[in-house]
């Protein structure tokens, strides 16, 4: 790749979200903002190799993108309201085109993506595309959706933002508590989409974990007084720190309690602890802080040699009060089994509704393990089969088959 192409790529990656957010906020049209910036990037790749890379590539891209928007609007005959905006935008930058710092509208854009009027399933894909510039094929792969379908969903949701006139603004203080969880949930969903691909066998999926952490850092920086934003960042860092330990050298699956703590990333664990401690100073616990605290209690094994299961079980009790998801209930049962015995864990699993767990792999994997330890071999074998059949990863299937075979 030539220097110019590399510089264009670099400028694009560094400023894509800022520029899309800025243009979309002023134009109130996400799709057009993306198209204009896309055109500007193409123009840059054509122009820069001849003219050299400009001093401020971001400003160049913004000017070029704005010109596209203006041309496009004139061509289409814009509505009066948009024209007014357009004039304002041009005035703002008339004297020092690009030299004025671009205001950071990314937080407003994130709140648009996670707006109550936007379908919950569309929120994370929308964030990944608008703020990070990921394409529909990559987002589709991460969320197990056909690329064409994902593309159509994104087009529809952007049209909805334009048509319903969702405002590009960060909610006021009093609204924040109601609106922030949707933003954090969407970011965590992006992280979760990369979670299953433990081995990093699929770099396209593994990438989303890093992208989600990037978004988590962004929100934590832009909203430094929101403990839950810090909690989410701490949670993702804790999980990510363990990624290298989740497979052994032969690629075999290693469950959390058997992981070699030497393979956990110390810098990431330390950062997670620092961020969580900062969140705790606000004395306003919430779902993500509790989840991060649970991971912190697991991480204690790296310091003291043993995880504090009683503390973990108590933290899960707290978590279930504010976020009783299927995943949290299964994890809580696992903690209960460690802290108070396998029977207690199994009883917790028994209280879960059958339809909620029919296709939930972790439920069957835990159930199988507890039944096996309790010597109920027949039922254990059945549960192992169910867990194996619901697994998406061959490493996990092989692990479960080996455990089931130990019963013969």
Partner 1 sequence: MQYTILVYETESELAARTDPKRKDAYWGAYRAYTKALRDAGVMVGGAGLEPPRKGTTVRQHDGKRRVQDGPFADTKEQLGGYYVIDVPDLDKALEWAARCPSASTGAAEVRPNMPPPPPPA
| Residue (179 or 397) nearer to partner 1, CB | 397
| Residue (217 or 381) nearer to partner 1, CB | 381
DSSP per-residue letters across 177-222: HHHHHHHHHHHHHHHHHHHS-TT--SHHHHHHHHHHHHHHHHHHHH
In 3D space, the residue among 38, 213, 226 whose CA is nearest the CA of residue 128 turns out to be 213
Applying CB under 8 A, which residues contact partner 1?
144-146, 149, 358-359, 384-394, 397-398, 401
CB 151 within 8 A of CB 186: no
CB of 310 to partner 1, least distance (A): 34
How far apart CA 345 and CA 366 sit, in angstroms, is 9
CB of 192 to partner 1, least distance (A): 14
Those residues with Cβ within 8 angstroms of residue 296's Cβ, 6 or more apart along the chain or in another chain: 234, 238, 272, 273, 276
How far apart CA 89 and CA 71 sit, in angstroms, is 14
| Residue (213 or 349) nearer to partner 1, CB | 349
How far apart CA 105 and CA 58 sit, in angstroms, is 15
| Residue (59 or 395) nearer to partner 1, CB | 395
CB of 392 to partner 1, least distance (A): 5
CB of 125 to partner 1, least distance (A): 13
How far apart CA 172 and CA 175 sit, in angstroms, is 5
CB of 133 to partner 1, least distance (A): 25
Task: Give 253's strand partners.
Answer: 247
| Residue (120 or 392) nearer to partner 1, CB | 392
| Residue (142 or 307) nearer to partner 1, CB | 142
| Residue (234 or 396) nearer to partner 1, CB | 396
CB of 321 to partner 1, least distance (A): 29
The token pair that represents 175 in the structure block? 């609204």
Residue tagged 């937080």 (tokens) = 107
CB of 136 to partner 1, least distance (A): 15
């Amino acid at each position: 790749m030539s220097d110019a192409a590399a510089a264009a790529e670099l400028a694009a990656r560094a400023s894509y979200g800022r520029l899309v957010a800025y243009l979309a906020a002023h134009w109130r049209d996400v799709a057009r903002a993306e198209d204009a910036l896309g055109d500007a990037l193409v123009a840059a790749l054509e122009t820069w190799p001849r003219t050299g890379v400009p001093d401020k590539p971001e400003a160049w891209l913004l000017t070029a993108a704005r010109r596209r928007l203006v041309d496009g609007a004139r061509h289409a005959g814009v509505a009066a309201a948009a024209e007014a905006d357009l004039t304002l935008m041009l005035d703002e930058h008339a004297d020092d085109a690009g030299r004025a710092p671009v205001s950071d509208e990314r937080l407003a854009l994130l709140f648009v993506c996670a707006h109550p009027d936007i379908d919950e399933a569309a929120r994370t894909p929308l964030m990944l595309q608008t703020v990070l510039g990921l394409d529909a094929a990559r987002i589709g792969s991460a969320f197990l959706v056909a690329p064409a379908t994902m593309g159509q969903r994104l087009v529809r949701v952007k049209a909805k933002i334009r048509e319903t006139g969702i405002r590009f603004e960060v909610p006021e203080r009093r609204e924040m508590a109601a609106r922030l969880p949707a933003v954090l949930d969407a970011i965590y969903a992006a992280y979760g989409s990369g979670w299953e691909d433990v081995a990093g066998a699929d770099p396209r999926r593994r990438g989303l974990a890093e992208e989600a952490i990037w978004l988590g850092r962004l929100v934590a920086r832009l909203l430094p007084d929101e403990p839950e934003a810090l909690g989410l960042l701490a949670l993702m860092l804790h999980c990510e720190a363990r990624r290298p330990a989740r497979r052994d050298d032969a690629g075999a699956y290693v469950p959390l309690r058997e992981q070699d703590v030497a393979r956990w990333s110390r810098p990431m664990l330390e950062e997670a602890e620092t961020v969580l401690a900062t969140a705790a100073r606000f004395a306003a616990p919430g779902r993500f802080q509790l989840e991060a605290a649970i991971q912190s209690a697991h991480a204690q094994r790296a310091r003291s040699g043993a995880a504090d299961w009683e503390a973990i079980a108590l933290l899960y009790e707290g978590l279930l009060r504010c976020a009783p998801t299927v995943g949290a209930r299964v994890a809580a049962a696992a903690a209960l089994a460690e802290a108070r015995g396998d029977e207690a864990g199994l009883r917790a699993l028994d209280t879960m509704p059958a339809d909620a767990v029919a296709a939930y792999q972790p439920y069957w994997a835990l159930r199988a393990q507890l039944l096996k330890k309790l010597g109920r071999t027949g039922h254990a074998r059945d549960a192992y089969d169910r867990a194996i059949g619901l697994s998406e990863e061959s490493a996990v299937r092989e692990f479960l088959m080996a455990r089931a075979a130990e019963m013969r």
